[in-house]
Amino acid sequence: MFGNSGKGVLIAAAGLILAGGVTTALVVASPASGPTIGTPDDAVQTVSRVDGDCDSPTVTVSTKKQLTRALEDAAPGDVIALEPGTYSGRFTAETDGTADEPITLCGPEDAVLDGGGTRKGYVLHLDGVDHWVLSGFSVQNGQKGVMADATTNTLISGLHVSQTGDEAIHLRDFSTDNRVVGNTIRDTGLRKAKFGEGIYVGTAESNWCDISDCEPDASDRNLVEGNDIADTTSESIDLKEGTADGIVRGNTFDGSAITGADSWVDVKGNDWLIEGNTGANSPQDGFQTHEILDGWGTGNVFRDNEAAVDGPGFGYSLTPELDNVVECSNTATGAAEGTTNVECQD
């Protein structure tokens, strides 16, 4: 799905209807010219609108028992439609869809998966699956909201994820080529503030032996786009060492509730494109890079972002500088130290 040419402009856009009534725009695009990096820049599908009313469902559920059974019996092409209501419990998907026939779980915002408490558990666990679509419904009241382990080619779109003990949406254990698009995230970190990220990609090096056989968790080529993230106690988006070649584009951040971190976006992986995001209210910096391990935290590009920091740091703070790029198209206001600690590049 993703290329590696490092050049190009918007080529075409066309409507695309996925199973479950998810309306998308198929965008063939690549970032403007820049350094040679591995950012996804060939063909990216982005969601322009998410319709929680599932079209042509193959099964409609209204109880926890029915939903659990539908997930257990799911087969390629199935569209599982949630009726409005609260589904109390923790739910797992373990069956693969296909490129031509994804498995869809969809519903309106008032269809709520409720995990029963913020101390433990995943409300919805994508466990080693390919080609799923999650669309429209709400996820709340778990230690973690949506957890994707070893998940590929999956769309997580238009969800409302809130009231989590730790992070809201997490891609890990070699979860690749996924799209996290158009979600609303609120009220994370109710268990521990430092774990309350909005969207978390990969695994910290200290946990590689638990999650990825002591190897870097290469959760690569993921797209995080158009999400509305506020009231998180840690970063809006955290991109871990071991991850690479992804895009963070067009998201909106409000860091007013951050107490366990010091920026909206923390990039510790390689070759990410951070483009067209808008942030407000950070306790320190807007966007940061860090080198946690030798060879990581490099090759990242910041482009066309707007940072209304209203804080004591920079709009864009690169630590260390490595081969990261802050283009001059980025802006920052209310940043006491200035726009960036490095010279911007055209």
Domains of the chain: 54-340 (2.160.20.10)
Instruction: Tell me 208's DSSP state.
Output: H
DSSP string, 264-307: SEEE-SBS-EEES-EEE--SS-SEEEE-SSTT-S-S-EEES-EE
| Average pLDDT over the chain, rounded to an integer | 88
Summarize pLDDT for 46-69 with one digit per residue, the tens: 433 344 458 889 999 999 999 999
* Residue 221 φ/ψ, nearest 5 degrees: 55, 40
What pLDDT, on the 0 to 100 scale, is given for residue 53?
Answer: 53
Query: How much is the pLDDT for 160?
Result: 98
Residues forming beta bridges with residue 266, ordered by sequence position: 238, 288
Question: What percent of the chain is modeled with pLDDT above 90?
Answer: 82
Per-residue pLDDT, 323: 92
pLDDT digits over 291-322, tens only? Answer: 999 999 999 999 999 999 999 999 999 998 88
In the predicted structure, residue 83 carries a pLDDT above the cut 60: yes
Retrieve residue 73's tokens. Answer: 């019996």
Question: 332 forms bridges with which residues in the sheet?
Answer: 307
Q: Does residue 12 surpass a pLDDT of 80?
A: no
Residues 6+ apart with CB under 8 A from 239: 201, 202, 246, 248, 265, 266, 267, 268, 269, 272
| The pLDDT value given to residue 192 | 96
Q: How confident is the model at residue 9 (pLDDT cuts 50, 70, 90)?
A: very low
